[in-house]
Structure 1
Amino acid sequence: MSTGPVCPEIPALVVGHVSHTREMPLRHAFRHRSYQWLVDVDDLPHLPLWLRPLAGFRADDHLDAGASGQGIRGDLGVFLAARDVFLSPTDRVLMLANARVLGHVFDPLTVFWVQSCDGALRAVVFEVHNTYGGRHAYLLDIDDRGQARIDKAFYVSPFNDLSGSYEIRLRLDPTEVSVTVGLDREGVRVLTATTRGTPEPATRRALLRVSLTHLLMPHRVSALIRFQGIRLWLRRLPVFPRPAPPKEATS
Structure 2
Amino acid sequence: MSTSALYRTQITHLRRAPVHHYFEQRGYCWYVDLDDMPRLPKWLRPFANFEARDHFTGPVQPGQTLRDRVDEFLADRGISLPGGRVTALMQARVLGYVFNPLSIFWCHDADGVVRHVIAEVHNTYGGRHAYLLPPTGDQPVAVKKQLYVSPFNEVEGYYLVRAPQPGEELDVSISLHRDNAPAFVATLQGSRRRATARQLVKLQLVAPVAPLMGAFWIRVQGITLWARKVPVVPRVAVAHRERVGQL
- Give me the TM-score of the superposition, normalised by structure 2: 0.91
What's the secondary structure of 2:70's corresponding residue?
A: helix
Note the alpha carbon deviations across 1:178-213, whole angstroms, 9 max, x for none: 220000012643310011111111011111111111
**Structural mapping, 1:67-106, within 5 Å:** 67-69=60-62, 70-88=64-82, 90-106=83-99
State how far apart, in whole Å, the 1-side matches of 2:182 and 2:101 are: 20
Q: 1:22 aligns with which of 9, 15, 24?
A: 15
What's the secondary structure of 2:239's corresponding residue?
A: coil
- Give me the TM-score of the superposition, normalised by structure 1: 0.89
State how far apart, in whole Å, the 2-side matches of 1:27 and 1:236 are: 12
**Structural mapping, 1:1-251, within 5 Å:** 10-64=3-57, 67-69=60-62, 70-88=64-82, 90-186=83-179, 188-242=181-235, 243-244=238-239
> Larger relative CO (CA 8 A, sep 6+): 1 or 2?
1
Q: Which has the higher helix share?
A: 2
- Over aligned residues, Cα RMSD in angstroms? 1.9
- Contact 2:4/2:194 (CA < 8 Å) preserved in 1? yes
Instruction: Please list every run of 5 or more consecutive structure 2 residues that lacks an aligned counterpart in the other structure.
Output: none
Aligned pairs, how many?
Answer: 238
State how far apart, in whole Å, the 1-side matches of 2:136 and 2:100 are: 25
- Letter of the structure 2 residue corresponding to residue 166 of structure 1: Y
State how far apart, in whole Å, the 1-side matches of 2:38 and 2:185 are: 32
State how far apart, in whole Å, the 2-side matches of 1:168 and 1:188 are: 18
State how far apart, in whole Å, the 1-side matches of 2:139 and 2:105 are: 13
- Contact 1:66/1:75 (CA < 8 Å) preserved in 2? no
Change over 3 Å in CA distance of 1:215–1:144 after alignment to 2: closer
State how far apart, in whole Å, the 2-side matches of 1:48 and 1:42 are: 19
State how far apart, in whole Å, the 2-side matches of 1:187 and 1:73 are: 40
Change over 3 Å in CA distance of 1:166–1:187 after alignment to 2: farther
Aligned identity (percent) is 42
Q: How far is 1:226 from its partner?
A: 0.6
Q: How far is 1:177 from its partner?
A: 1.6
Worse-superposed segment, 162-171 or 139-148 = 139-148
- Letter of the structure 2 residue corresponding to residue 206 of structure 1: Q
